[in-house]
Amino acid sequence: MSENTNNGKGQTPGKRPQLQQPPRSGRSGWIVLAVIGLSIALMYLMNPDTAQLRDLSESEFRALVMAGKVDSLERIRILDTGSNYLLGHDNSAEKPRRRSRFGFVQDETADGEEKPAPNFRVRLAPGENEDLMKFLLEKNISCPIRERTNPFGPLLRDLLVMGLLVFATWFLFFRNLRGGNGPFGVGKSRAKLLTADKKKTTFKDVAGVDEAKEEVQEIIEFLKAPAKFKKLGGKIPKGVLLVGPPGTGKTLLARAIAGEAGVPFFSISGSDFMEMFVGVGASRVRDMFEQGKHHAPCIIFIDEIDAIGQKRSRTGGGYTGGGYSEQEQTLNAMLVEMDGFSANEGVIIVAATNRPDVLDPALLRPGRFDRQIVVDLPTLKGREEILRIHAKDIKFAPDADLKRIARGTPGFSGADLANLLNEAALLAARKSLDGVGHAELEEARDKVLWGRERRSAGYTKREREITAWHESGHALLQLLLDHTDPLHKVTIIPRGRALGATMSLPDHDILNRTKLQFLDELVVFAGGRIAEEFHTGDISTGAAQDIAQATHLAREMVCRYGMSEKFGFQAFFEPPTFSAEPVPPPFSERTSEEIDAEVKALVDKAYERAKKLLEENRDKLETLAAALIEKESMDGRDVAKLLGIPEKPDSAGEDEGKEDGSPSAGERPEKATTEPAEAGESAAKEESAAAEK
């Protein structure tokens, strides 16, 4: 006896059912539109005023009568509308088709004889038109008067049209949209289905997010072999939230999950749910989950979920909006579908956002989004792996060094690195090179960071000298101080909005910063203004950005990091500037004045230290300024060799064999002294010596 391999549901055990789209029907909308069109056509045909007649002016009509071309004539009065016109037949014109009062068959006389159908019309002005009637009497043309009643008067027509429009509006936008069956798919989900026949994305295409890949590996194993987990009572996570800065590969990671698991993958953006009609977003959410049930197990990826998942603010006893806003209805539908009375087995929601702080707590609780995975900026090792993935289709010159570029791009996301390689390839193509060299990679990196060179800027000789001294002041202090990043490059070629730039790049990923680094950084900020004053005896606006950055850093040290000797282990946060009503700061006016004084003391002390160091090394400052005027751009190693200052030891080697850490979210460790310059970090040698004592 053969076994019955059918499981009763039309499926064979061990085989995945065929993916079938749920039934979609938009015929009802077309039917309504057809009814409206037919009604308007019937109204047009049944109205005698709209017959296909040639309109003549009174002068043209008189000329036709005098030529003897008018066979029959009658005067029509429409009682409902008050219109008054003449209908006649021009025997010189083509014989018209037969029609009745409804426009189809010719009228007949009392004795059964047909009379010619009218083929022209003369609209009469209000009044009796006695002159025209006398004219017809003189020409012996009879003009009987016929009074008619329009079967569809203006009021009746307007009421009919309004009724049809109201019915169509109710049928289309209230009845059908709530059920998700509106015409043209208005209430349908806009999620795009990526099946196995599409190009697969796997973990080989994702780099720099090793920890995130390890966390989602369990979900992939569950999708591949759910029985392994279910026999121990384990349940598949309902939702996974990917959190991280823009461009770090959250969407790519979600596609890799579906590619590794071999399951259908729906992709949709949070903004695709929102429409001007209330209820459309909720309808699309329900339809999206309905499609997911048909294809389960599957993954639904929602990008930028903060567009629909923002917090519902409370005012008094209820939510703002009263629960009737489109965004709130969409969020409520999402909450119910993810963890309501009817569970969606086998449908995993993977969402991405770079603003988790604005999401509603009900959306983030376990049972909806069980896991939050941080997809942070890549480390040094991750940046090198990402560069190699994006470099597969790029032809490189022998001197190209991706590892050095990876070290010179701390704080870059995967999207930034892909953009860097693309800019380098475009630059090499413009130069008609056979491959992308290291010079093109460096130029592309600088362009992404600080903008393109503006060699066409109208530079005077005096401005070049001032900029050269300004950047020399930054660069010299960058080399002299102990707690600054290595000097990378100095240039007086305008780039972006800056006339010059002093670029410093850390030799490893920065996880934490110290007070000594911040103090030295303040010193470097002040170096440009002081060097200008040494050369010209005057000061310029070139240090505006340096002053702003130094003031901000000093205030952060006092108010946020507790690095003030006077205030110690305290934090002073200002109220949010976007508050609807002015909120007083959580400290007194006297404390505010003391904070200002402490900030000024930090900046003034750094300024004096910078001035003392530059005075002691005036010869090196002049040498570097002269070299910059001649060469325009210099590598940091060449500057150190020119001035006889030993290069700083490579601190990246201290962490060999250890796992690389990620930079702090929202901070880019690289620094550049711009406009004309911005700086690195530093600490007082005096304070370190005092600490040793």
Contact (Cβ atoms closer than 8 angstroms) between residue 353 and residue 379: no
Residue whose C-alpha is closest to residue 154's, from 49, 270, 298, 234:
49
Tell me, what amino acid is at 665?
A
User: What whole-number distance in Å separates Cα of residue 469 and Cα of residue 475?
Assistant: 10
Strand pairing partners for 453?
Answer: 495
Tell me, what amino acid is at 383?
R
Tell me how crowded residue 43 is: count the other CB atoms within 10 A of its CB: 16
User: What whole-number distance in Å separates Cα of residue 160 and Cα of residue 406?
Assistant: 72
Contact partners, residue 635, CB within 8 Å, separation at least 6: 488, 489
User: What whole-number distance in Å separates Cα of residue 165 and Cα of residue 331?
Assistant: 31
Contact (Cβ atoms closer than 8 angstroms) between residue 400 and residue 443: no
User: What whole-number distance in Å separates Cα of residue 255 and Cα of residue 386?
Assistant: 17
Contact (Cβ atoms closer than 8 angstroms) between residue 502 and residue 478: yes
Strands 145-148 and 70-78, how do they pair?
Answer: parallel
Residue whose C-alpha is closest to residue 146's, from 106, 101, 105:
101
Distances (CA, A) of 162 to 41, 42, 152, 302, 304: 16, 16, 14, 41, 42
- Distance between start and end Cα atoms, the chain: 96
Residue whose C-alpha is closest to residue 124's, from 80, 91, 82:
82
Active site residue 654: no
3-state secondary structure 220-246: HHHHHCHHHHHCCCCCCCCEEEEECCC
DSSP state letter for 114? B
Residue whose C-alpha is closest to residue 351's, from 334, 329, 333, 339:
334
Contact (Cβ atoms closer than 8 angstroms) between residue 184 and residue 205: no
To the nearest 10°, report the CA torsion of 405, 411, 416, 421. 0
Of the residues 304, 337, 471, 598, which is catalytic? 471
User: What whole-number distance in Å separates Cα of residue 568 and Cα of residue 558?
Assistant: 8
Tell me how crowded residue 339 is: count the other CB atoms within 10 A of its CB: 19
- Number of helices (H), then strands (E), in the chain: 22, 17
Tell me how crowded residue 334 is: count the other CB atoms within 10 A of its CB: 29
Residues with catalytic roles:
471
